[in-house]
Amino acid sequence: MATGNLAEMQWVDIIPPDATATPLDFAMVAATLAAIAIVIVAIYFYLSRPKQQARRKILALAGRDNLNNDQRRDGSHLIAKELGKAFGVKRLSTVRFGDAQQKRWETFLQTLDTNRFAPQTPSPDNFSQLATEAISWLRLRS
């Protein structure tokens, strides 16, 4: 046993010292938060685009099978309103497509107007076909 002063003796630790925690790198935390914020903002702007909103509303309307006559007529008005917002026009007749599709577009508009304003209400099959075609016009114009 060593003789001497206790203060001069070197003691051996029985319990190892705690590992020192590395400080968080501020730049890494800031970059991660910025990346998350950019992704959230991009998703928000993608989902809030008028075409995406119109597509969601028309899809929800087309998925309902139990619509009565008045709801189908109102749905036809909603389709026209949402297409107008998506294309950024007040009158759908001003929307232009290529020569090959313009005739189909005009036929679609005529069917839509018939469903909206004719004395007889649109049939369920006619209405679901109209909604499906409206969604295809939104995809075509994207």
Sequence-distant (≥ 6) Cβ neighbours of residue 54 within 8 angstroms = 82, 83, 85, 86, 138
Domain ranges of the chain: 50-141
Amino acid code (one letter) for 51: K
Q: Is the pLDDT of residue 33 over 90?
A: yes
Q: Is the pLDDT of residue 1 over 60?
A: no
Interatomic CA distance for residues 62 and 125, integer angstroms: 10
Q: Could you tell me which residue, 23 or 43, shows the higher pLDDT? A: 43
Sequence-distant (≥ 6) Cβ neighbours of residue 36 within 8 angstroms = none
| CA 133 to each of CA 46, 53, 117: distance values in angstroms, whole numbers, following the listed order | 22, 16, 19
State whether residue 125 is helix, strand or coil: helix
Q: Is the pLDDT of residue 43 over 60?
A: yes
Q: Could you tell me which residue, 135 or 98, shows the higher pLDDT? A: 135
> What is the pTM for the complete model shown?
0.65
Q: What is the dihedral of CA 81, 85, 86, 92, to 10 degrees?
A: 60
Give tens-digit pLDDT for 54-74. 888 888 888 777 888 888 889
Amino acid code (one letter) for 30: A
Residue 78 binned pLDDT confidence (cut-offs 50, 70, 90): very high
